[in-house]
Chains A and B, each alone.
Chain A
Amino acid sequence: MSSTPTREIARRVFAQEFNDATYTFKESDDDRAPVYVLLPTGQRANRVFVVGTLTETDDVGEEAEYWQGRIVDPNGDTFFTYAGQYQPDAASMLRDLEPPEYVAVVGKPRTYETDDGNVNVSIRPESITAVDETTRDRWVVETAERTLERIQAFETETPDEYVQMAREEYDLPVENYRRSAVSALGKLQETAPSAD
């Protein structure tokens, strides 16, 4: 379209799959080329959109403020998000919000290797806003739908390059993610009807 690079699509993914997405790659050698995490269902993600329950915020910084937020999806799995001085708006949201609260987060996936060799996946937020339950419910249904679509694409006989990459890099049955979609939708139905 224009001379600016195409904007990265914000992927929809439940926390279980997101936290499993420990493999990262670039599409080119350019230093500024975007870094993608590879979702185990076979899609690259440079941005995610997440709506869940903010259950806890904590300033984990040593010298400067560095806020950690825990955002839980209907399955009880947790997205971790971290905002410091370079994400001032998101950091001040985490400082000011009083959990529990439904929040919408747009952000970049980041991976971090711990001393014991585990890879933690978190979100570096571009924005955090407080939203209502309707928005959360809509996100859950949408995320289930997108997850199922990825699983279908994963299981086709002519998989694309990211599916092939996922098959090589991960040893994680995608059936897990189908289950997490089913269970998230089930949780919604238990709490429904919320409309009055």
Chain B
Amino acid sequence: MTETDLRTHAVDVHEQFSDRLNITVDEVYDRLDTLVNEYKVPTTEARRSVINTYLDEAGMEREELSGGGGNEQKAIVDIDREEEWIDLTAKVVELWEPRSDAVAQVGLLGDETGTVKFTKWSKSDLPELEEGGVYELNNVVTDEYQGRYSVKLNRTTTIEALDEDIEVGDDAVEIEGALVDIQSGSGLIKRCPVEDCTRVLQNGRCSEHGEVDGEFDLRIKGVIDDGESVHEVIFNREATEELTGITLEKAQEMAMDALDTSVVADQMHEKILGRYYSITGPTLGRYVLANEFEEQGGPADAEAILIKARSM
């Protein structure tokens, strides 16, 4: 066993524990060297023994250990546990602005089965991911916050760019029920014009960029309720125009005539509140994005319910 080979193993093992233990490559090397060159233990066994020692020291289970393959290749939709080390093949669907210096990149990964948020730590010193790029990501760890899963790219993660494309599944949900509320911030709104900001202005102010000359937009934040569960729904401009028949242009005229933007939301209330809709779209945080929707026009099946009622 050459010194270089042992050193490679030492770097490898060190890498796996560097997050958890304050050890140096030299210390790892010394342990390996003793086992291999003094006690004539085979390298694989020596490595195994050293890793076990460090696992004990770190109070970790072998499953938590990164690297060396052995992880399960997971479909995004199957992510259902936290602190699980997995491999993903995924496309970077979106990159978001990191809110903290500790985060190098944050955004959305997608595969055929759905999407998941990812975070890449600055200190992990990993290569830059590009939006639209497809990557083989080995050794990412899952996390959970308020019932939603995400993955963290860490120091042990390996990233390999693939020359292929993935058609990302939209993990859309379908909901039905009555529109029982239209929340504030609906109707004719203004958004911050700063590139990539698009925050909704409150009294002409952006929470990030201060007083700005906003750009008009339409949206509805509504609540769909079927008597058993509630869902918050967002209609973007296009969906709002189709749902209410009020275009952005018309909304601006209405607001101009009334010298008040709230007339737009008032008219929207009258047109859509209390009606039944079915809505299909992906979920984003607590909202369902109304990509497709339909007012439920036809009469519901009274006969089936009547039969049930009479049989009780």
Contacts and interface: CB of A to CB of B under 8 A. Distances in A.
Contacts of B270: 129-130
Interface string B289-301: 0000000111111
A188 interface: yes
Given A10-B225, A12-B227, A131-B274, A1 B286 contact: yes
A47 B223 CA distance: 13
Given A12-B227, A182-B309, A135 B275 contact: yes
A7 B301 contact: no
A188 B12 CA distance: 74
Contacts of B146: 1-2
Give the contact-size bracket for chain B: 20 to 34
A123 to B, nearest CB: 13
A9 B224 CA distance: 10
B227 A146 contact: yes
B312 interface: yes
A146 to B, nearest CB: 5
Nearest to A8: B230
A138 interface: yes
Nearest to B309: A182
Contact of A9 (B229, B274, B276): B229
Contact of B274 (A51, A89, A152, A188): A51
A188 B269 contact: no
B273 A104 contact: yes
B11 interface: no
Contact of A135 (B276, B302, B312): B276
B228 A141 contact: no
B305 interface: yes
A195 interface: yes
In this complex, which of B147, B275, B298, B309 has the most chain A Cβ atoms within 10 angstroms of its Cβ?
B309
A189 B228 CA distance: 25
A107 to B, nearest CB: 10
Contacts of B84: none
Contact of A182 (B286, B299, B300, B306): B306
A144 B305 contact: yes
Contacts of B303: 189
B181 A134 contact: no
Interface residues of A, number: 45
Interface string A53-82: 000000000000000000000000000000
Given A9-B230, A104-B275, A185 B302 contact: yes
A2 B286 contact: yes
Interface in B257-308: 269-270, 273-276, 286, 296-303, 305-306, 308
Nearest to A107: B180
B227 A49 contact: yes
B274 A141 contact: no
29 contacts: A1-B146, A7-B223, A7-B230, A7-B232, A9-B229, A10-B180, A12-B227, A49-B180, A105-B274, A106-B180, A129-B274, A131-B274, A134-B297, A139-B178, A140-B302, A141-B302, A142-B300, A143-B227, A144-B302, A145-B308, A146-B227, A148-B308, A148-B309, A151-B312, A178-B312, A182-B310, A185-B305, A189-B303, A189-B306
Interface of B: 146-147, 178, 180-181, 223, 225-230, 232, 269-270, 273-276, 286, 296-303, 305-306, 308-310, 312
Interface of A: 1-2, 7, 9-12, 47, 49, 51, 89, 103-106, 126-127, 129-131, 134-135, 137-146, 148, 151-152, 178, 181-182, 185-186, 188-189, 192, 194-195
Q: Considering the complex of A and B, which 9 residue pairs feature the smallest CB-CB distances, nearest first?
A: A104-B274, A141-B300, A12-B227, A129-B274, A129-B273, A106-B180, A185-B306, A182-B309, A10-B225
